[in-house]
Amino acid sequence: MSTPPTPSTPPTPSTPPTPSALPSPVESFTSPHKVDYTFVAGTGRSAFLRGLQERRLLARRCPTCERVYLPAPEFCSRCLAELSEPFELAGTGVVKTFCVVNFPFPGQMIDPPYLVAYIQVDGADTTLMHLVRDVEPADVHIGLRVEPVWCAEEDLDTSMNSIRYYRPVAGGSDA
Using CB under 8 A as the criterion, which residues of the chain lie in contact with other proteins when the complex forms? 1-3, 5-6, 8, 11-17, 21-43, 45-47, 49-50, 106-107, 158
* Min CB(30)–other proteins separation in Å: 5
Nearer Cβ to other proteins (45/167): 45
Dihedral sign, Cα of residue 158, residue 162, residue 168, residue 173: negative
The neighbouring-strand residues paired with 131 are: 116
Smallest gap from residue 165 Cβ to other proteins (A): 21
How many other C-beta atoms lie within 10 A of the C-beta of residue 111? 8
Burial class (CB in 10 A: 0-12, 13-18, 19+), 101: middle
CB of 14 to other proteins, least distance (A): 6
Which is closer to other proteins, CB of 46 or CB of 84? 46
> Could you tell me if 146 and 119 are in contact, meaning their C-beta atoms sit under 8 angstroms apart?
yes
Rg of the chain, C-alpha, whole Å: 26
Work out how close the CB of 175 gets to other proteins at its nearest, in angstroms, rounded to a whole number.
32
If the CB atoms of residues 45 and 133 are measured against other proteins, the closer one turns out to be 45
Task: Rank residues 43 and 173 by Cβ distance to other proteins and give the closer one.
Answer: 43
Closest separation between CB of residue 110 and other proteins, Å? 18
For residues 150 and 131, what is the distance between their CA atoms, to the nearest angstrom? 12
User: 4 by DSSP, 3-state: which?
Assistant: coil
Nearer to other proteins, 104 or 107 (CB): 107
Q: Which amino acid is at 160?
A: M
